[in-house]
Chain A
Amino acid sequence: SYVLTQPPSVSVAPGQTARITCGGNNIGSKSVHWYQQKPGQAPVLVVYDDSDRPSGIPERFSGSNSGNTATLTISRVEAGDEADYYCQVWDSSSDFYVFGTGTKVTVL
């Protein structure tokens, strides 16, 4: 089965840039979506199709995808960005949806 690996945690100071990676075999050939989840809340889509943003998501959230790694970048980090972040793809070989292991972003 397809596996997506994320770092368990990322710490960043306010105003700095956070980068969250999502590793998977040839992930660059797939469309990657990213979700933000705050405690006690449902996930929210923040980036879809590698680098597009849903309406209402700040431009500070951006994404890229190439080779074996996809990256979610949060620029000018704010305290409100503290949350768990998950990447997700659809694995066409199995018709399964796969989520990454999740990354907790802590704003120092």
Chain B
Amino acid sequence: EVQLVESGGGLVQPGGSLRLSCAASGFTVSSNYMSWVRQAPGKGLEWVSVIYSGGSTYYADSVKGRFTISRDNSKNTLYLQMNSLRAEDTAVYYCAREMGGSGFDYWGQGTLVTVSS
């Protein structure tokens, strides 16, 4: 059974850092396209970052230069390192698997990141 479990969210001050983790089971992270998608309170879905199976990475303009996506193949886990956090980064962060270019077929339950002083 495919499962994605996020962790690492919490309350952080503006300018601070946080690392999110997404532990996968039932499939191999490194063989798939994996993304982070976030949703601010009461708002819509916003794509954040992707790491392709070949290792290429891409970021939304809103996080480029501040966030880094990576994976640990030995742990079958996806990460999102978030630096220089801002209030507008407050959101539930989901990790999601892309089904060979045909949409995100599996999502985690989400982890809440709150940036506030």
Contact = CB atoms under 8 A, between A and B. Distances in A.
Interface of A: 1, 31, 33, 35, 37, 42-45, 48-49, 52, 54, 84, 86, 88, 90, 95-102
Interface string B87-104: 000000010000101111
A101 B44 contact: yes
A102 B43 CA distance: 9
Contacts of A33: 102-104
Contact of A96 (B37, B60, B104): B60
Interface residues of B, number: 21
A44 B35 CA distance: 15
Nearest to B95: A42
Contacts of A99: 37, 44-47
B101 A96 contact: no
Which secondary structure dominates where chain A touches chain B? strand
A88 B103 contact: yes
Given A42-B108, A96-B47, A97-B47, A49 B103 contact: yes
Contacts of B109: 42
Give the top 3 A-B pairs by smallest Cβ distance, nearest first. Answer: A33-B103, A48-B103, A97-B47
Given A42-B107, A48-B102, A99-B44, 16 more contacts: A31-B101, A33-B102, A35-B103, A35-B104, A42-B94, A43-B37, A43-B104, A45-B103, A48-B105, A54-B105, A84-B44, A86-B45, A88-B103, A88-B104, A97-B47, A101-B44
